Amino acid sequence: MSNDAITERFASFDGVELALHRLGEGAPLLLLHGLFSSAEMNWIKWGHAQRLADAGFAVAMLDFRVHGDSAAPHDEAAYPENVLVRDTVAALAHLGWDDYVLGGFSLGARTSLHGVVQGLLKPQRLIVGGMGIAGLGEWSTRSAFFRRVIDEFDTIGRDDPAYFSRQFLKSQGVDRVAARLLLGTLPDMELGDLDRVTMPTLVVCGDEDRDNGSAEELAALLPHATYVEVPGTHMSSVTKPELGERMAEWLTA
């Protein structure tokens, strides 16, 4: 973890201990990371959090359960439907934030949109990174891919399309038992419900990122969206400075 970020822990709605990392002072901004990643990997390591803090934001970054420095329980009861939305609500309550900006990448973007559609998350503005319509409406198919990565973890070879995901999962030290339980908690979204996302929204995606379908089509379904491309694939776009730069530019425009 960056020496500049302060880590604190809190109990979520069901008592599971979650980690929250904070950097900077100013307008409240909560960031949510991607699947099998962490606040450190998505937001801190590549400088995005610092860039946003420098732009005048109090940046808080949640480690979802099963990720980063948060707990990874093996009890099935710890994985009700939309558990990550409920964890996000708990994080905002811990922070004491009512007026805030919410930003998410991949799983974090999916969680943010589910929360807004359900009326549980009400940010002033929203940032949706690395997400397209397939990642919302066809999540059951996408999650089946990741379940295979977990179930066949020891036999996936270098020539397998799942090999890169397997290696990333391994590098992050994710608890595979807990991860498999988590994959079943997020339902597919009815794309027609996206008209409930009425706040200004930035949809930002790598120019080679097709992992979750078309981000441009997603932006077209949102009532007040701006679409921006940055360099890279789903994985590499997070490592490029342009991601944080475009986020900061949109937030301060």
pLDDT tens for each residue of 125-158 = 999 999 999 999 998 888 888 999 999 999 999 9
Give me the percent of the chain exceeding a pLDDT of 70: 99
pLDDT single digits (tens) 201-249: 999 999 999 999 999 999 999 999 999 999 999 999 999 999 999 999 9
Domains and CATH numbers, the chain: 6-252 (3.40.50.1820)
Q: Nearest Cα to 58, choosing from 96, 115, 11?
A: 96
Q: How far is residue 214's CA from residue 130's CA, in Å, rounded to a whole number?
A: 10
Q: How far is residue 171's CA from residue 168's CA, in Å, rounded to a whole number?
A: 5
Q: How far is residue 107's CA from residue 48's CA, in Å, rounded to a whole number?
A: 17
* DSSP tally for the chain: helices H, then strands E: 10, 8
In order of 65, 69, 93, 99, 112, the CA distances from 40 in angstroms are 14, 10, 22, 24, 19
pTM: 0.95
H or E, element range at 60: strand 57-63
